[in-house]
């Protein structure tokens, strides 16, 4: 009960902070870009599905890998700021 309450309290705070961010709009430049890109991708996918999926999977993997590595480097850098760590 207590732990659940604390977790829900933290979740509530995070949700509130996120709710302050602007709404997603498909008419925004970024939203338009996604819709346009999806149109091109769906066209390519209808003709060459394996190539399309392969490219998407490779790009997604690269982004996820580099992002994870970047986060790791940041965390490692922060840890090394502690006086007892080297």
Using CB under 8 A, list all residues that contact other proteins: 1-4, 7-8, 11, 14-15, 18-19, 21-24, 26, 28, 30-31, 34-35, 37-43, 45-58, 60-61, 64, 69, 72
- Closer to other proteins at the Cβ: 19 or 84? 19
- Closer to other proteins at the Cβ: 18 or 83? 18
DSSP letter for 72, please: H
Task: Name which of 36, 55, 35 is nearest 45 in CA terms.
Answer: 55
| Shortest distance in whole angstroms from residue 81 CB to other proteins | 18
Sort 52 into a burial class: Cβ within 10 Å, 0-12 / 13-18 / 19+: middle
Angle at 51 between CA 45 and CA 53, to 5 degrees: 65
| Shortest distance in whole angstroms from residue 80 CB to other proteins | 13
Task: Name which of 64, 65, 86 is nearest 77 in CA terms.
Answer: 86
- Closer to other proteins at the Cβ: 56 or 84? 56
| Shortest distance in whole angstroms from residue 5 CB to other proteins | 9
The token pair at 45 is 């996918």
């Amino acid at each position: 009960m207590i732990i659940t309450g604390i977790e829900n309290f933290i979740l509530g705070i995070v949700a509130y902070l996120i709710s302050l961010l602007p709404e997603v709009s498909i008419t925004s430049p970024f939203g338009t870009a996604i819709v346009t890109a999806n149109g091109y991708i769906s066209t390519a996918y209808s003709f060459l599905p394996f190539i399309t999926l392969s490219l998407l999977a490779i790009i997604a993997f690269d982004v996820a890998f580099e992002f994870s590595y970047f986060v790791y480097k940041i965390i490692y850098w922060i840890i090394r700021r502690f006086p007892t760590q080297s």
